[in-house]
Structure 1
């Protein structure tokens, strides 16, 4: 264990030697490329949908040249967001909606979104994540079909993105997309995940407040606690509180209220709330918004709002670093044959996966040191 930890630390220490360019990496653009980035940036900050859509597509790319353009764009966006904070401009609220399939996420998002745009007068961005096929890699991206009214609303913007088989319920670029929407002066950015499971906790590390949607008949409160995601929710919304499901919804609400007493609180200043909602009857929509506003103000008053965001970007820094280190390892030609041989040794039972990993890291470190 000590040896493995030492190898990983050495790998991090030598990361700056992996043929990376200097800080000028993000500024070495041609005149035409810089003009294109400037056009996208101006379009984003002026809330022009076409440029915003192009900017999101750009940051989702893996093409090295386009990735260079996206990093330049993001640098300008981050500078804009920093100025907004220093000038005490209106804060964009990031909300995460998650829940099991069939919980009514899309229906509630449309009802809640229409309430924000028509009753509150807010500008809303909805970022939805569609699961990608593990066999073909394709995604349907049909969320606008499930939100017909909101998709026609001039004060709402809906963007669907494939998760590219990433665990966590979101994509690797969802946080950067949120930054673009904040620069475009949206009042609320709502992120919907592909579903909920024990692995899909990533969304909590990129939003200010997480809303967990639970449909009636989802099991007892113990099953809810076992999912793990419940302890990360700031607000639990019991959906489909209408018609024949009203009694069942009340029962589920009581069970989750009881279960929440045994869940460790994320913040000493906020206790999770459990409410009843109905997309069909528009029940609980205004209460949900009031709770979100109360949560935001509570976090701001207790200096937790921006601290949470700082912790989130720090976590994402390490997440991206680990992913990039893995990609770097796999891209080295002198390691490909070594990896194949080590895989064969592990499968044959001649060494453990941990031993093979130590050998591979040592080989990588030796090549860097030359």
Structure 2
């Protein structure tokens, strides 16, 4: 659910402004109207099924189980990421890679939902949900993330699309970028900090803003509250993308703390829109998708969302993994959200055509052609840098 645009090309040679703008708009619509509803549908389904099946009469025990699943699961996938990356690759066995990678995504997605459900419900049990307490907790979480330059980790669809690319499929970045080859003890501490500190701060911020919206937006009218969240959320997300060129230009002229603060302010506005979209879609499913049979509704939502995302090649959008640093991109790209789907597909097609042209020229004029493997590597590297997913 997190991402970076570091290293991603702006456009392609020969692409005019109108064409690129059209593809950009289609990507945003795809993210908002297809990817985001599927991601929310999956998360709502797994979350609610855990409520139904795991100690439904004891919320504290149920949330503790989720915390254990989330923490151990995250640490497992962080620790064994290099092993998975080394052993599974389509060049060795394409079918095996596909099966293992998608199984990995399914398991990690389940871990991610539990990693959020546990702390969220523990806070609901142990703390007061009045607006004053929520405001304080949310503010503390925001300040802590801003101080660590980790605010961007609150990003989620519809502001992010994470594609299922081969290279780096199993990679999970940590806060301090310590690798297992450096020193194992430091790597473990880095993993624990990334999961328990950064990850839980993100949950605190999301929960606080979500419940504040519950309190303020038609609290006694579920239908109006749902529709209001959808309208408000998509309006803010649309506004964020409209002003993105201006914000990018502004950030490219700034440096240091001013640039970081402007980028963080922009992220906070997008976060408010994102949470409203999620809340609206979640409650919309509760109200209108088989409301008389919640269990069936959740199972259908889980299967449909998961299968559709896998077929579309963006099932990694379900995952909340890795830690990214605020404003790490050059110039104003720190305020550009990685919402790339059609653009990457068309880019790959252009690179394939370029490869054919170069091969043809090399035959006719004895020029050195760009090899297929080189072009494939360019595509993979581009997709990886775009996703340098969390």
Question: TM-score by structure 1 length?
Answer: 0.25
Which structure is higher in strand share?
A: 1
Give 1 or 2 for the bigger CA radius of gyration.
1
**Larger RCO (CA within 8 A; separation ≥ 6):** 2
Question: TM-score by structure 2 length?
Answer: 0.24
